[in-house]
């Protein structure tokens, strides 16, 4: 199982470059730069990270065609690939916090993502592009690239239609905050869709964005996890029963999520669920511990691997440099025994 790191989209270009260099030194496979309504430009910062590294893969997560036109996504991605040949990757999504601020259409989002994939593939192939979709049209665009191998296009997919599209047309999928108790069902669904599309599951990447929150003390780890709980609730209705929460609890968490996120954005203390519910969310939707619990966290990652994940995208709470070092020292030797994270 390859092990990558997700960096906070608010960090400066210099910080991203330095953290990417550190991640490469410690043997991580990917640096993912997270998006959202409070982020900065992805590709400019990733270009600096590409110049500072030699092997590690680099990409934004997750871009939506409703926040950036597919042609512009393709131009930026293929230009980044010139700086870091064979190392660029991308997670495409149908929504996201930034896209939500631009009032995307309520219907047709999955189809728009499919059109985006088609346009990106055409740009990588090169030559004149004429494309007529329901959402995006391209007329007499000339792509200066020629036969670029673009085999690292992931979909951010957690629900059936996006998973089906990913299995048909993408190179992998990345699920978000999916607990062990629910992940097996998702992976079975992905494999069934791959079989339907006559695709080899061995060449299809399946990743999970998951919080890494190992701190010096348990109290500090729990404080960080509780403050960020709003971000763990995007798919709470789908996964609630698998982690022992009832429908009423899931409804309340879903209804409360917008105010929780708004409080975080505004620097206020967010609403917190009752302690038993919060504890259950932290237990199942994060890897939260002090150093004494490190072995148990590594054990859970090994369970993710056994379920069929080929990759994991760990999003650190707290100091990302310390997290990268700990992941490199303790996690990669345990879950990446074949050295898949080491990009040649």
CA angle 317, 45, 82 (to 5 degrees): 125
Q: Are 194 and 167 in contact (CB under 8 A)?
A: yes
Q: In the predicted model, what is the mean pLDDT of residues 81-88?
A: 97
Q: In the predicted model, what is the mean pLDDT of residues 11-38?
A: 94
Token look-up 């990417």 returns: 20
Question: Does the residue 344 lie in any domain?
Answer: no
Question: Does the residue 341 lie in any domain?
Answer: no
Sequence-distant (≥ 6) Cβ neighbours of residue 42 within 8 angstroms = 9, 33, 35, 60, 63, 76
Of 253, 315, 264, the residue nearest 37 (C-alpha): 264
Checking if the pLDDT of 24 tops 60, the result is yes
Question: Does the residue 235 lie in any domain?
Answer: yes
CA gap 237, 159 in Å, rounded: 11
pLDDT in tens, 156-175: 999 999 999 999 999 999 99
pLDDT at 336 (0 to 100)? 81
pLDDT at 341 (0 to 100)? 63
Q: In the predicted model, what is the mean pLDDT of residues 314-332?
A: 98
Q: In the predicted model, what is the mean pLDDT of residues 257-279?
A: 95
Question: Does the residue 121 lie in any domain?
Answer: yes
55: containing domain:
2-335
Q: Where residue 120 falls among pLDDT bands split at 50, 70, 90?
A: very high
Burial 105-122 (b: 16+ CB within 10 A, else e): eeeebbebbbbbbbbbeb
CA angle 278, 294, 179 (to 5 degrees): 45
Question: Does the residue 343 lie in any domain?
Answer: no
pLDDT at 340 (0 to 100)? 67
CA gap 249, 344 in Å, rounded: 47
**Which pair of structure tokens corresponds to residue 177?**
């905050």
Of 227, 292, 233, the residue nearest 258 (C-alpha): 233
pLDDT in tens, 34-61: 987 678 899 999 999 999 999 999 999 9
pLDDT at 104 (0 to 100)? 72
pLDDT at 135 (0 to 100)? 96
What is the DSSP track for 198-236? T--GGGSEEEEEEEEEEESSHHHHHHHHHHTGGGG-TTH
Mean pLDDT taken over the chain: 95
pLDDT at 37 (0 to 100)? 66
Question: Does the residue 342 lie in any domain?
Answer: no
Q: In the predicted model, what is the mean pLDDT of residues 19-42?
A: 92
Classify residue 282 by burial, with Cβ atoms within 10 Å: 0-12, 13-18, 19+. buried
Checking if the pLDDT of 222 tops 80, the result is yes
Question: Does the residue 195 lie in any domain?
Answer: yes
CA distances to 40, 60, 116, 196, 287 from 164, in Å = 31, 22, 16, 9, 28
What is the DSSP track for 14-29? HHHHHHHHHHHHTT-S
Q: Where residue 107 falls among pLDDT bands split at 50, 70, 90?
A: confident
Phi, psi of 87 (to 5 degrees): -115, -5
- Number of domains comprising the chain: 1
CA distances to 228, 241, 245, 266, 277 from 255, in Å = 16, 17, 15, 19, 15
Q: Where residue 343 falls among pLDDT bands split at 50, 70, 90?
A: low
Look up the CATH number of the domain holding residue 81.
Answer: 3.20.20.30
CA gap 272, 278 in Å, rounded: 7
pLDDT at 40 (0 to 100)? 87
pTM assigned to the model: 0.95
Checking if the pLDDT of 326 tops 80, the result is yes
pLDDT at 234 (0 to 100)? 95
- The DSSP secondary-structure symbol of 329 reads I
Question: Does the residue 243 lie in any domain?
Answer: yes
pLDDT in tens, 296-317: 999 999 999 999 999 999 999 9
Residues present in the chain in total: 344
Checking if the pLDDT of 98 tops 70, the result is no
């Amino acid at each position: 199982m390859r092990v990558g790191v997700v960096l906070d989209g608010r960090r400066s270009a210099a910080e991203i470059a330095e953290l990417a260099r550190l991640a490469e030194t410690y043997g991580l496979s990917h640096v993912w730069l997270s998006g959202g309504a409070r982020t900065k430009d992805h590709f400019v910062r990733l270009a600096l990270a590409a110049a500072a590294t030699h092997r590690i893969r680099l990409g934004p997560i997750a871009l939506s065609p409703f926040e950036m036109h597919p042609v512009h996504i393709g131009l930026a991605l293929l230009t980044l690939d010139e700086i870091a040949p064979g190392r660029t990757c991308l997670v495409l999504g149908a929504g996201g916090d930034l896209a939500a601020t631009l009032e995307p259409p309520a219907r047709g989002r999955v189809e728009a993502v499919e059109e985006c994939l088609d346009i990106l593939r055409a740009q990588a192939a090169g030559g004149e592009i004429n494309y007529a979709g329901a959402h995006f049209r391209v007329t007499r665009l000339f792509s200066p690239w020629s036969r670029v191998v673009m085999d690292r296009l992931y979909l951010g997919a957690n629900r059936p239609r996006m998973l089906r599209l990913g299995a048909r047309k993408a190179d992998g999928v990345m699920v978000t905050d999916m607990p062990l108790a629910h992940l097996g069902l998702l992976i079975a669904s992905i494999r069934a869709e791959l079989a339907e599309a006559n695709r080899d599951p061995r060449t299809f990447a399946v990743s999970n964005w998951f919080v890494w929150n190992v701190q010096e003390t348990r109290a500090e780890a729990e404080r960080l996890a509780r403050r960020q709980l709003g971000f763990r609730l995007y798919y709470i209705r789908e996964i609630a029963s698998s982690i022992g929460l009832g429908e009423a609890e899931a409804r309340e968490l879903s209804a409360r999520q917008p105010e929780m996120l708004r409080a975080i954005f505004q620097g206020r203390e967010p609403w917190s669920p009752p302690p038993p519910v919060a504890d259950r969310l932290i237990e199942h939707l994060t890897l939260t511990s002090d150093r004494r619990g490190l072995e148990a966290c590594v054990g859970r990652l090994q369970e993710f691997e056994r379920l069929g994940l080929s990759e994991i995208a760990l999003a650190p709470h707290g100091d990302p440099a310390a997290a990268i070092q700990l992941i490199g020292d303790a996690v990669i030797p345990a879950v990446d025994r074949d050295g898949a994270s080491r990009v040649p």
